[in-house]
Amino acid sequence: MVLERGTRLLAGAMVVACMLLVGPSVPGGTLFTRSLPADAARNVVANRVMTWNLCNPCEAGNVDRAAEIATYAPQVIGVQEAACVSDVERIRDYLGRLYGLVYHVEYGPVLRSWGRCGGAPWRPGGFGQAILSAAPMTDRVTVEYPDGGSEDRGYMAVTTTVDGRPVRVFNTHLAQRRQEAVRAEQTAVLATEVARHDRAIVLGDFNAVPDAPELARMWALAADADPRCRPSRAGTCEPTTDWYSRFDYVFLRGIAPLEHRVQPTSYSDHHLLFADLDAR
């Protein structure tokens, strides 16, 4: 009995040691941490911004989403279709605990939903938009569009630091496809506010291709982070979705682009889109 008890204690100690070495795990036995590529950013890139529709509902875990973000480590990330407020909090937590990337977070329009977040009637879940920034954010505004289309939609805006300088950052998600007239009204609301700022970055899922008429107001104010991507040359714009459409944008006003990248990911039906900027 003594020998058996000692064997059990030794086995338990080895399990604890292994857990300390490899880190905690999530339900199902998947490890929290995921190895990053050899060329992954080691620290937050001060002049890099990203937009990503996380896809809701999708099967991807927040650990995997955090690893995708950590690979490129942007200064600012605008996310759409964040499954739940709690999911964004977990992503931020994983970014800090697993990869040493510390972000502040602000939330924008959130659609209340009983089913998408597993919320109970007394504590409903929600999904929508958020901005994560390595620098503190101020002057947050949240605006719901007068007509959201088939779902509530809106934009959020904050002032934060990109490339060492303060800049106004917007994050939006326009109405779903086949709602062109609704998106045109939404873009008009957004563009009116963007026009008030000499320096602005507009991130988001616009659910419209570059030469769609409803984006005309945005193109009149700002340029895409990809200088080749314009309404007149829509065919040169890299697609940002699994169905080969360009729906996601980094619009720049008063800020110069340096380079950009569209990165397909298996964790969403939208690709990661990020840009390095000269905001000085």
| 125-133, strands of its sheet edge to edge | 104-113, 125-133, 74-82, 45-53, 272-278, 256-263
Burial of 65 (0-12, 13-18, 19+ CB in 10 A): buried
What confidence tier does 32 reach under pLDDT thresholds 50, 70, 90?
Answer: low
Distance, CA of 25 to CA of 43 (rounded, Å)? 24
CB 197 within 8 A of CB 191: no
pLDDT beyond 80 at 22: no
CB-CB contact of 98 with 69 (8 Å):
no
Q: How many CB atoms lie within 10 A of CB 94?
A: 24
Contact in structure between 48 and 70 (CB atoms under 8 Å): no
Q: Could you read off the pLDDT of 142-176 as tens digits, one per residue? A: 999 998 888 889 999 999 999 999 999 999 999 99
Q: With CA atoms as reference, report the closest residue to 134 among 268, 43, 17.
A: 43
pLDDT of residue 128: 81
**Measured distance CA(173)–CA(113) in Å, rounded:** 17
pLDDT band at 55, cuts 50/70/90?
Answer: confident
Identify the pLDDT of residue 191: 98
- Prediction pTM value: 0.85
Task: Give the DSSP per-residue string, 117-179.
Answer: S--BTTB-EEEEEEEEESS--EEEEEEE-S--TTS--EEEEEEEEETTEEEEEEEEEPPPTT-
Write out the two tokens for 142: 């949240």
Region for residue 244 given its phi and psi (left: phi exceeds 0; alpha: psi -120 to 50; beta: otherwise): left
Half-sphere exposure of 6 (CA within 13 A, CB side): 3
DSSP 27: T
Cβ(45)–Cβ(276) under 8 Å? Answer: yes
CATH architecture of 32-278: 4-Layer Sandwich (3.60)
pLDDT over 90 percentage in the chain: 68
Burial class (CB in 10 A: 0-12, 13-18, 19+), 76: buried
Categorise residue 163: left if φ over 0, alpha if ψ from -120 to 50, beta otherwise: left
Kindly report, residue by residue over 1-10, the tens digit of the pLDDT. 444 444 434 4
* 94: three-class secondary structure by DSSP: helix
CB atoms within 10 A of CB 22: 11
